[in-house]
Amino acid sequence: MLEGKFESASLMKRLVEAIKDSVKLCNFNCSQTKGITLQAIDDSRVLLISLKLDPGCFEGFRCDKNLVLGLDLESLSKVLKQGNNEDYLTLIAEDAPDNLLVVFEDPKKDRISEFSLKLMDIDSDVLSIEDMDHDCSITLPSSDFAKVARDMRTLSESLQILVTKDSVKFMASGPIGTGSVIIKAHTDLKDGKESIKIDLNKSVNVTFGAKYLNDIVKASTLAETVTIKLTNKIPALFEFKLQGGYLRYYLAPKFDEDEE
Amino acid sequence: MLEGKFESASLMKRLVEAIKDSVKLCNFNCSQTKGITLQAIDDSRVLLISLKLDPGCFEGFRCDKNLVLGLDLESLSKVLKQGNNEDYLTLIAEDAPDNLLVVFEDPKKDRISEFSLKLMDIDSDVLSIEDMDHDCSITLPSSDFAKVARDMRTLSESLQILVTKDSVKFMASGPIGTGSVIIKAHTDLKDGKESIKIDLNKSVNVTFGAKYLNDIVKASTLAETVTIKLTNKIPALFEFKLQGGYLRYYLAPKFDEDEE
DNA sequence: TTTTTCAGGG
DNA sequence: CCCTGAAAAA
């Protein structure tokens, strides 16, 4: 028996919205100690998504037996949209489940919505991802990053990121012109979340597919800041910290031509 | 001579938008005492629409002679869209009219827009609808009802409604899973319009085509609340009260299989 | 199906 | 006040 109760539906709603454009089907792994984890790779195998929701993310969490819940994220999304952000949300599954039960409660209005989603068997390549050291780590407001990623996509399908000691430079160039955005490290004393922090071992120059960055950036509503870890020619890590968990994206860089 | 002047065009605009997806052609009946009434049935003869606009709905209303104005709602809609919501709107017709004159005035801007719509002869089966007693009556915020109707349609083309003493249960089941939404009667003291009221003589279990409910729900902008009257196997009534009139939908339930 | 408009949330 | 997501229109 799995029973995970969220204090509000908004977290789960946003998570699924942040993932479903990259991946259609995926397995939710449930265990008493680890809570709910998920790992999925997009069809082009360029973007890997890793989600962890510790039991502490839940108002109540119980999982008698490890479960793998194979879900169609499009269907899950349809169901989650039927709940309001402030509703209590509970996920329920039997020990050998055919279905996942999704229950919303709006205590004020005395409304209870209950949905049963069919589960599916999904092939899962669960990779173990080593926590590697990167050449640089950047932390910035996720909305800032989202804006750059979205804006630059109007110029090109590739976004180049150059990191030096105290600045990050985003560059794109395409038919209508070229652009660069330079963000300098700084500390915002009023609101630490507005600070931009750069830790650098080695300067970095990487290029990503703008399409993937735009998918990643859909998670911006989940956390005020995003931490980006980059190394030349190595998949980058984009991490959105949740309270008691995270949503991480691993994105392989573009590897072409002039970036020798 | 008919001359009906609305204080603002928005009512008429919304009404036509709420109807035109169900019915293409229909007769507007005008009389000095009754104002404007309309009755129309959709092509599948499952949904009947009944509109009443008392003379009191108008800022000024005069109708020397009873008229039947046969209109193409698509054309009427196109014309109405040319007026702003805050414009004065006047409908004018001669005693033996070939055309309906639609006049918008924006006094502030000194703009006058005038349109003449061709009238048509339309066969009308005007049914007399007796005000029957139903087994239950539900009043709830029209936006709540709209959300349930629209959301549940993502699950199935049929929506089942079960009413018991103090709750309404909406149920749908389809390929991706099943869902139910239970709304309990309650009184909102802060905002009475948010209350949910259930009057029940006999519990009810009816199923409707989700398509029709989605058409009905287009009227949600016309009234804050909707009153739904249901009886097993009998057409349901969905009423949106207007000030000095109403828009009512009569919808025949689906009648199949296991609902004996 | 794509684009535009409108309503709700941050 | 701005932005985002959902519904209507083309």
The per-residue pLDDT for range B143-200, each reduced to its tens digit, is: 999 999 999 999 999 999 999 999 999 999 999 999 999 999 988 877 888 889 999 9
Mind telling me how many Å the CA of A119 is from chain B's nearest CA?
A: 9
- Note whether A56 and A90 are same-domain residues: yes
pLDDT of residue B259: 47
Question: Using the CA of B221, which nucleotide's C1' is the nearest one?
Answer: C7
d(CA A151, CA A172) in angstroms, rounded, equals 10
- Mean pLDDT for A21-46 is 94
pLDDT of residue A126: 76
Burial A102-124 (b: 16+ CB within 10 A, else e): bbbbbeebebbbbbbbebeebeb
The reply to whether B130 falls in a domain is: no
pLDDT of residue B257: 59
- The answer to whether the Cβ–Cβ distance between A109 and B155 falls below 8 Å is no
- Note whether B107 and B169 are same-domain residues: no
pLDDT digits (tens, 9 = 90+) for B97-126: 999 999 999 888 788 999 999 999 998 877
Name which of A260, A201, A257, A255 is nearest A46 in CA terms.
A255
Q: Tokens 């196997």 sit at which residue?
A: B233
Residues B119, B100 contacting (CB under 8 angstroms):
yes
Burial B14-48 (b: 16+ CB within 10 A, else e): bbbbbbbebbbbbbbbbeeeebbbbbbbbeeebbb
- Note whether A169 and A98 are same-domain residues: no
pLDDT of residue B69: 96
pLDDT of residue B129: 81
Q: Tokens 């997009």 sit at which residue?
A: A42
Q: Residue A248 forms beta bridges with which residues?
A: A50, A239
The reply to whether B22 falls in a domain is: yes
pLDDT of residue A194: 81
How many residues comprise chain A?
260
Name which of A78, A29, A20 is nearest B176 in CA terms.
A78
pLDDT of residue B159: 96
Residues with CB under 7 A from strand C: A 10, 84-85; B 143, 221
- Note whether B76 and B161 are same-domain residues: no
The reply to whether B124 falls in a domain is: no
Nucleotides of C under 7 A from a protein CB: 7-10
Residues with CB under 7 A from strand D: A 17, 81, 146, 218, 221; B 17, 77, 81, 147, 150, 218
> 3-state class of A255 per DSSP?
coil
- Note whether A99 and A23 are same-domain residues: yes
Boundary residue ending a domain (B64, B89, B118): B118
> B178, B186, B188: which to substitute to probe chain A, counting the most A Cβ within 10 Å?
B178
- The answer to whether the Cβ–Cβ distance between A109 and B183 falls below 8 Å is yes
How many residues comprise chain B?
260
Given a cut of 60, whether residue A259 has pLDDT beyond it is: no
d(CA A116, CA A97) in angstroms, rounded, equals 11
Averaged pLDDT score across all residues of chain B? 93
Which residues on B lie below 8 Å from A109 (Cβ)?
183, 186, 194, 196
Question: Using the CA of B214, which nucleotide's C1' is the nearest one?
Answer: D7
The reply to whether B123 falls in a domain is: no
- Note whether B103 and B173 are same-domain residues: no
| Interface membership of B234 toward A (CB under 8 Å) | no
Name which of A11, A9, A15, A12 is nearest A107 in CA terms.
A9
Residue A82 has its nearest CB partner, among B151, B185, B194, at B151
Residues A178, A171 contacting (CB under 8 angstroms):
yes
- Mean pLDDT for A110-137 is 89
The reply to whether B129 falls in a domain is: no
Number of domains in chain B: 2
The CATH number that applies at residue A240 is 3.10.150.10
Mind telling me how many Å the CA of B100 is from chain A's nearest CA?
A: 43
pLDDT digits (tens, 9 = 90+) for A173-208: 988 889 999 999 988 777 777 889 999 999 999 999
In A, residues 40-79, which contact B (CB 8 Å cutoff)? Answer: 72, 75, 78-79
Strand pairing report for A245-251 and A47-53: antiparallel
Residues A48, A127 contacting (CB under 8 angstroms):
yes
Boundary residue ending a domain (A118, A151, A179): A118
pLDDT digits (tens, 9 = 90+) for B185-225: 988 877 888 889 999 999 999 999 999 999 999 999 999 99
Q: Residue A138 forms beta bridges with which residues?
A: A198, A228
- The answer to whether the Cβ–Cβ distance between B154 and A109 falls below 8 Å is no
The whole domain housing B190 covers 136-251
- Note whether B99 and B43 are same-domain residues: yes
- Note whether B114 and B144 are same-domain residues: no
- The answer to whether the Cβ–Cβ distance between A111 and B176 falls below 8 Å is no
Name which of B249, B255, B256 is nearest B47 in CA terms.
B249
| Interface membership of B180 toward A (CB under 8 Å) | yes
pLDDT digits (tens, 9 = 90+) for B10-61: 999 999 999 999 999 999 999 999 999 999 999 899 999 999 999 999 999 9
The reply to whether A31 falls in a domain is: yes
- The answer to whether the Cβ–Cβ distance between B176 and A75 falls below 8 Å is yes
Boundary residue ending a domain (A63, A92, A118): A118
- The answer to whether the Cβ–Cβ distance between B181 and A113 falls below 8 Å is yes
pTM: 0.93
Question: What residue of A is the nearest CA neighbor of B178?
Answer: A116
- Note whether A160 and A241 are same-domain residues: yes
Given a cut of 70, whether residue B81 has pLDDT beyond it is: yes
The reply to whether B10 falls in a domain is: yes
- Note whether A142 and A226 are same-domain residues: yes
The reply to whether A260 falls in a domain is: no
pLDDT digits (tens, 9 = 90+) for A76-110: 999 999 999 989 999 999 999 999 999 999 988 78
- The answer to whether the Cβ–Cβ distance between B177 and A99 falls below 8 Å is yes
CB pairs under 8 A between A and B: 53
Token output for B36: 């404007």
Which residues on B lie below 8 Å from A82 (Cβ)?
147, 151-152, 154, 179, 181
pLDDT of residue B247: 96
- Note whether B141 and B230 are same-domain residues: yes
- The answer to whether the Cβ–Cβ distance between B177 and A79 falls below 8 Å is yes
- Note whether A114 and A12 are same-domain residues: yes
